[in-house]
Amino acid sequence: MRTKYNYRKTLMYVVLIVYALLSLFPFIWSLLISFTPMTYTDDRGIERGVDIMEWPPEMDLFEFPPHFFGAPATGENYEEVFHIAPYGRWILNTLIYASMVTLANLFFDGLAGYAFARLRFRGRDLIFSLLMATMMVPFPAIIVPTYLLISDMGLINTFMGLILPKVSMVFGIFLMRQFFLNLPIEIEEAATIDGASIPRRAFSVMFPMARPAFITLGIYTFLNTWNDFMWPLIVTTKKEMFTLTIGLNFFKGSFYTVWPYMMAATMLMTAPMIILYFSSQKYFLEVNVSSGVKG
Amino acid sequence: MSLRTKEGFYGYLFILPAMIIIGVFMLYPIVMTFWYSFTNYNGTEQNKFDMLFVPEDALQFHFGEFMEDLIPEDSQRLEKAFNAISLIEFDIGVKLSEEQKASFSNEYFKVGDLMNDFLTGSLAEQITVKQFLERYLTGKGRNLLSYQPVFTGFSNFTKAFKDPYFWTSLKNTLLFSAIVVPVQTLLALLLAVAANQKIWGQKFFKTTFFIPSVTSSAAISMIFSLIYTKPGILNQMFGIVGIPAVDWLNNPQTALGAVMAMNIWTTAGYFMVTYLAGLQQIPASILQAAQIDGASPSRIFWKIIVPLLKNQTIYIVTMGIISTLQVFDQIYMLIRNLRNVTLSYYIYKNAFEYGEMGYASALGVVLFILVFVVTYVFKRVYREERVVKEVKR
């Protein structure tokens, strides 16, 4: 019995380790390539090309700088990304897009979520269930009218056009409502007895208590908007208005892709989200679990 | 005001901004998708109204005479030769609907003004079609100021029915969902069960598996397009075991499968975390009791653990269905072959590359119905379970 148990446990370990390697490998691989120069000059002063497809790669990790594909690692691909494309501008665009959408969602979804959870008004549950039903609507299905609407407003290639359709999300309202429902009602009752008005109750009593929910919603929205693809693809046609996800296509050559540049660009847009994830893992898992169990 | 009415007032006030946005950018587009699907709405025709042109050139074409040869006295003669519809349709190049043409007659066009401006040479500068028409159209003629799609009944749907690419993209979409959803769900469950033991590094595994899901699909697509290239690392690895190299993404036989594998890689870890949270809620006493009763591990798994995870499974499968049926980003980034695209991509292609927005809307309606039907059927299967849940509440 004992040995059988150990055997099972070992098997589980193998599964976990293999999958962990599988999860990490693509990132490590592209990170290495992003530091690999296209060409380098060897000891004898001869210029050599670097083959990033070479297998097994000629690694030398104990030298400084380390060698990943037989050539000394360099940060020049990262510099080059800013020279051949308006990459700095794309970072700025993405930051503006993601932070504006996030701030707007915190405010509007927070208000609506509170109202749906705690205020009684006619038609509340009907409106809420109607909203829930729209969560299933696939965005590509309604992309044409959404585009035409923004286009008629003259908002193509503007931040307003990017941001406006996203300033309130049904999922955000759902998340906030869920949180407010779980807060003890006694605190609010006490505030009411003390003569606090409804806006006061919401803004000074409930919202401060909902801080974790706001952080969760904020991080979720920021991540999703940062990674958003289809909407920026359609609303931005000028290079200056691209977000990072759309800009990535710029590095894709039609016949030949310079992989070290491409991977440097990829790492630059991925790193902030991974850092955000590591610094606030709790909140990432919160979205996952709260929508999973209560949904 | 009583507390009741106050609550009502603030309730509506608080939901108002969100409702306006969701109404305008969600409910209105849903309704309009259905409406456009019955029209021949064409994006390129719409854009023509913003096109820049030189009215003087267009008028010279229209009359077949050059400015240099004309004198102010020609005004009367030209006015008689002038035909507004033909100018707009053939010399400017904007298509008008039959209804627009039928409602129009020359009295709605300020021909005199136009001739005057033309002969004094004040039309030599570039303006947009819309600006030009706004200046000279009056009364009912203003119907011509914008693009009007024509109601065409079910013709978009019959077109789709005969369009082989529609069927291919629909088939690919269903295939994508049918393979990705079960595989990622089972994989997530397997990983969660593996991690849900008193083992070293549980937190490490959880953290690691989650990373792909915080990365943008565009970035992941680019990473995998490097891995999938013909001389790439995947083929090198397979080469060791003797599998011949394949150009994964350019080969129509393997392209969609490669994207599916990538999709599973992205989401399995995310859903594993959902399952793990569920597993950790199962009281250890239940499992111990089963063990003492002599139940085999596989029996415990299928008869106790899986049923207790039903809520998580419903969530994971529903989310999986909804997201796989509308997969777009990865297809856009990686697939170059129209035989391997999904419905979402085909919608995009029609709307924004061919300008066929009416047809794209009809495909949108199909996608819309597809998602609802598949999710409904799935939920239907689990309905009994839900009833039990409701009663408990």
Inter-axis angle of helices B357-381 and B383-392, to 10 degrees? Answer: 70
pLDDT in the model for residue A293: 44
What is the distance between the alpha carbons of residues B391 and B381, in angstroms, rounded to a whole number? 18
CA-wise closest residue to A135 among A177, A163, A189, A78? A177
B4, B26, B47, B185: best to mutate for the A interface, most A CBs within 10 A: B26
Neighbours of A68 (CB within 10 A): 23
pLDDT in the model for residue B81: 85
Contacts of A278 in chain B (CB under 8 A): 207
Would you call B361 an interface residue with chain A, using a CB distance cutoff of 8 Å? yes
Would you call B149 an interface residue with chain A, using a CB distance cutoff of 8 Å? no
Contacts of B385 in chain A (CB under 8 A): none
Residue A67 has phi, psi (to 5 degrees) of -105, 130
pLDDT tens figures, B42-97: 888 877 888 888 988 888 888 888 888 888 888 888 888 888 888 888 888 888 88
Would you call B8 an interface residue with chain A, using a CB distance cutoff of 8 Å? yes
Q: What is the mean pLDDT of residues A22-39?
A: 93
For residue B137, give the 3-state DSSP assignment: strand
Task: Give chain A as a 3 state SS string.
Answer: CHHHHHHHHHHHHHHHHHHHHHHHHHHHHHHHHHCCCCEEECCCCCEEECCCCCCCCCCECCCCCCECCCCECCCHHHHHHHHHCCHHHHHHHHHHHHHHHHHHHHHHHHHHHHHHHHCCCCCHHHHHHHHHHHCCCCHHHHHHHHHHHHHHCCCCCCHHHHHHHHCCCHHHHHHHHHHHHHCCHHHHHHHHHCCCCHHHHHHHHHHHHCHHHHHHHHHHHHHHHHCCCHHHHHHCCCHHHCCHHHHHHHHCCCCCCCHHHHHHHHHHHHHHHHHHHHHCHHHHHHHHHHHHHHC
Q: Are A228 and A154 in contact (CB under 8 A)?
A: no
Contacts of A245 in chain B (CB under 8 A): 216-219, 329
Look at residue A99 and tell me whether its pLDDT is greater than 70: yes
Q: Are A123 and B19 in contact (CB under 8 A)?
A: no
What is the distance between the alpha carbons of residues A125 and B14, in angstroms, rounded to a whole number? 15
The percentage of chain A sitting over the pLDDT mark of 70, rounded to a whole number, equals 96
Task: Give B48-110 as a 3 state SS string.
Answer: HHHCEECHHHHHHHHHCCCHHHCCHHHHHHHHHHCCHHHHHHHHHCCCCCHHHHHCCCHHHEC
- A119:B14 CB<8 A: yes
Structure letter (DSSP) for residue B25: I
User: Tokens 């629909």 map to which residue?
Assistant: B170
pLDDT in the model for residue A294: 40
Task: Give B145-204 as a 3 state SS string.
Answer: HCCCCCECCCHHHHHHHHCHHHHHHHHHHHHHHHHHHHHHHHHHHHHHHHHCCCCCCHHH
Residue A290: band (very low, low, confident or very high) from pLDDT cuts 50, 70, 90: low
Q: Are B119 and B70 in contact (CB under 8 A)?
A: yes
Please enumerate in sequence order all residues whose Cβ is within 8 A of that of B177, keeping only pairs 6 or more positions apart, or say none. B320, B321, B324, B325, B374
- How far away is chain B from the Cα of A40, in angstroms, using its nearest Cα? 21
pLDDT in the model for residue A295: 35
Look at residue A254 and tell me whether its pLDDT is greater than 80: no
Contacts of B226 in chain A (CB under 8 A): 29-30, 33, 259, 262-263
CA-wise closest residue to A166 among A139, A199, A186? A139
Would you call B96 an interface residue with chain A, using a CB distance cutoff of 8 Å? no
- A138:B325 CB<8 A: yes
What is the distance between the alpha carbons of residues B312 and B278, in angstroms, rounded to a whole number? 7
What is the distance between the alpha carbons of residues B174 and B373, in angstroms, rounded to a whole number? 12
User: Tokens 């959408």 map to which residue?
Assistant: A101
Beta pairing, strands A39-41 & B127-128: unpaired
Q: Which domains does chain A have, with CATH numbers?
A: 2-74 (no CATH), 82-294 (1.10.3720.10)
- Per run of 10 residues, the mean pLDDT along chain B (length 393 residues) is 82 95 95 95 83 88 84 83 87 83 82 86 86 85 81 94 96 97 96 86 90 95 93 88 90 95 95 92 87 86 89 91 95 92 96 94 96 90 57 45
Structure letter (DSSP) for residue B128: E
Q: Are B195 and B276 in contact (CB under 8 A)?
A: yes
pLDDT tens figures, A127-185: 999 999 898 899 999 999 999 999 989 899 999 999 999 999 999 999 999 999 988 88
Strand partners, A60: A67
pLDDT in the model for residue B116: 85
Would you call B41 an interface residue with chain A, using a CB distance cutoff of 8 Å? yes
CA-wise closest residue to B361 among B32, B22, B24? B32
pLDDT in the model for residue A64: 81
What is the distance between the alpha carbons of residues B234 and B219, in angstroms, rounded to a whole number? 18
Burial of B38 (0-12, 13-18, 19+ CB in 10 A): buried
Which tokens go with B165? 């690419």
- B25:A111 CB<8 A: no
Would you call B322 an interface residue with chain A, using a CB distance cutoff of 8 Å? yes
Look at residue A50 and tell me whether its pLDDT is greater than 60: yes
CA-wise closest residue to A154 among B50, B167, B360? B50
Burial of A291 (0-12, 13-18, 19+ CB in 10 A): middle
Which tokens go with B190? 């397997």
Which tokens go with A207? 């919202």
- How far away is chain A from the Cα of B259, in angstroms, using its nearest Cα? 15
Neighbours of B27 (CB within 10 A): 16
Which tokens go with B181? 């959803």
- B361:A144 CB<8 A: yes
- Give the chain B residue nearest A282 (alpha carbons): B207
Q: Which domains does chain B have, with CATH numbers?
A: 3-33 (no CATH), 46-145 (no CATH), 156-392 (1.10.3720.10)
pLDDT in the model for residue A112: 96
What is the distance between the alpha carbons of residues A152 and B32, in angstroms, rounded to a whole number? 14
Q: Which residues 248-287 of B have a C-beta within 8 angstroms of A?
A: 265, 269-270, 273-274, 277-278
CA-wise closest residue to A140 among B329, B93, B73? B329
pLDDT tens figures, A190-234: 888 888 888 888 898 889 999 999 999 999 999 999 999 999 999
Residue A3: band (very low, low, confident or very high) from pLDDT cuts 50, 70, 90: low
- A165:B25 CB<8 A: yes
- B219:A266 CB<8 A: yes
Look at residue A244 and tell me whether its pLDDT is greater than 70: yes
CA-wise closest residue to A170 among B16, B271, B19, B12? B19
Q: Are A234 and A155 in contact (CB under 8 A)?
A: no
Structure letter (DSSP) for residue B294: T
